[in-house]
Homo-oligomer: A and B are copies of this chain.
Amino acid sequence: MSVTIRDVAKASGVHISTVSRTFSAPHLVNPNTRSRVLACAEQLGYRPNRAARALITGRTYNIGLIVADIANPFFPPLIKAAESQARKHDHHIFVADTNEDPALEEEVVRALAKQVDGVLLCSPRMSNALIEQLSREVPLVVVNRQITGIPAVAMDVAGGARRAVEHLIALGHRRIALVAGPRGSWTSREIRRSASATARAGSAELTIIGPNPPTEVGGLTVAEDVLRAGATAVFAYNDLMAIGLIEGLLAAGARVPQDVSVVGIDDIMLSRLTRPKLTTVATPTAAAGRAAVDMLLAHGDDRRTTAHVHLQTELVIRDSTGPGPGPHSPADPGDVIAPGGVAS
């Protein structure tokens, strides 16, 4: 049915091992023979069977890419960049979506382990211990997370969060809400830590609302909590939530940014298209995808390359942030109500 190495061998009058070497070790075969074999292969439409090759060499030329939610606009640019970079190195990408479910994450890694040269774990929700264990079964590169001993591509979300909160403080906001992301997210912890420290340093009050699902709906549903907390500015775990939040705020009659300023993080395509346009922290998503693939492929040679790539983020000021109530805001700690669903 399908044309194999034997067909090519027969057609070009050499042994199959010569054909094999023509493709995997060309320098070992006589140039004349080589070109004859290549001609036959071309003519027959021969393509090496990677599965068969992988069986012996252990290299599959496949990469697993695991994301929490393909439909979250944060991921597509990353996937696209990774796929393109992988193809440059003749690798293919398995994409799996875990629906934000840590258990599914583990299962998918295990299911993919034997069929890939390595797995890119994007924004994993698993525990560090589990990730370390899995990394013994298959080469792993984590994106948006830092674990000692595991190669990682991290974006400087802490720096981004700092700049975002500083921006709000500079605008005169003193009562800021942080709409947190999902439990188990490293990014969420980083943001929380950095935003808290920055608020403290700027003598602003930070109310943490969450955890929440990292979706538009997640943002929409906390709009009331934000208003009840009396915040004049909000920093959200990601753009999708920020956009949902703005929807919710507008629906509740609050104006953005006149009454409430909103900052997101990610700079997804959407952020330039909503009204008001979203002020946000741009994360280099595509660069992260490329870097992760590069690390994984480099990784192969020397297993202890636990380098960590750090990518810079950048504050993009658009229209969803504006001046706060000013330095003389009648902020009375007494009327800060702790609404349902608010944690610290």
Contacts and interface: CB of A to CB of B under 8 A. Distances in A.
Given A51-B114, A83-B97, A216-B269, A73 B73 contact: yes
Interface in A266-290: 269-270, 273-275
Contacts of A79: 70, 95, 97
Contacts of A60: 51
A164 interface: no
Interface stretch (A28-36, A105-113, A150-158): A105-113
A269 B71 contact: yes
A80 to B, nearest CB: 4
A325 to B, nearest CB: 26
Interface of A: 2, 47, 49-52, 54-55, 60, 62, 69-71, 73, 75-77, 79-80, 83-84, 87, 92-97, 99, 110-115, 216, 243, 247, 269-270, 273-275
B55 A51 contact: yes
Contacts of A49: 55, 114
A95 B113 contact: no
Given A47-B114, A71-B269, A114-B2, A83 B96 contact: yes
Contacts of A54: 51
A88 B83 CA distance: 24
17 contacts: A47-B111, A47-B114, A49-B55, A70-B80, A70-B83, A71-B77, A71-B269, A73-B73, A73-B76, A73-B269, A79-B97, A83-B95, A84-B99, A87-B96, A94-B94, A94-B95, A95-B95
A223 to B, nearest CB: 14
A74 B114 CA distance: 32
Given A71-B77, A270-B273, A273-B216, A97 B114 contact: no
A114 B50 contact: yes
Contact of A94 (B71, B92, B247): B92
Contact of A50 (B80, B96, B115, B275): B115
A75 to B, nearest CB: 8
Contacts of A92: 94, 96, 111-112, 115
9 closest pairs, A vs B, by CB? Answer: A275-B275, A51-B51, A95-B95, A70-B80, A70-B76, A71-B76, A51-B54, A83-B97, A71-B80
Given A79-B97, A94-B94, 19 more contacts: A50-B115, A51-B52, A51-B55, A51-B115, A62-B94, A69-B80, A71-B77, A80-B97, A83-B95, A83-B97, A84-B97, A92-B94, A92-B96, A92-B111, A216-B273, A243-B273, A270-B273, A273-B273, A275-B275
Nearest to A72: B76
